[in-house]
Amino acid sequence: MTEELFIQLFRDTNKSIYNFVYFSVGRDKHLAEDIAQETFLRAWKYRETYKASKANVKTWLFSIARNLIIDNYKKIKEVNNENLDSEDVTNMSLSLDESIDIKIALDRLDLSSRELITLRYIEELELSEIALIIDKNINSTKVAIHRALQKLKQNITHEP
């Protein structure tokens, strides 16, 4: 992949990758920026290992980002075993109660469920792309997304 093609890839996918990371790490802007940046640095470093026949380039980038998110959680867990929520809900300036409820409910989800909902409904990826990212078959991916949605609905209806 040439530098010119990579720059275009960055322009085309930067926002999607950032949004995925942002929602996955509990809306920590600085951490999301760091992980998104590291995603593209690793993609550039390992660009020769990318196989177009295995997955499209956007799916490959999401996989890199997902692995970095998991690595970050492992690192945090080793250093500090406290709650990983990064932003207090009172800092949000949203106008609709429903939006607030959904964001709170998303924050309460485990990382895997939050990732699945972000990939499917925020980034609007196809099931086949999500399956490649999470390394599961399509049926398992459908079930996992369904379960994540059930957890989200439960979090919305059962506020503490």
Q: Which amino acid is it at 85?
A: D
Number of domains in the chain: 1
Q: Which domain holds residue 79?
A: 3-157
For the stretch 49-70, pLDDT in tens is 888 777 889 989 999 998 898 8
Residue 4 in this model has a pLDDT that exceeds 80: yes
pTM above 0.85, yes or no: no
Alpha helices in the chain (DSSP H): 3-24, 29-45, 57-79, 97-108, 111-117, 127-134, 138-157
Asked if 84 contacts 39 with a C-beta cutoff of 8 angstroms, the reply is no
Nearest CA among 94, 99, 36 for reference residue 66:
36
pLDDT for 78: 59
Residue 159 in this model has a pLDDT that exceeds 70: no
- CATH number reported for the structural domain that contains residue 137 in this entry: 1.20.140
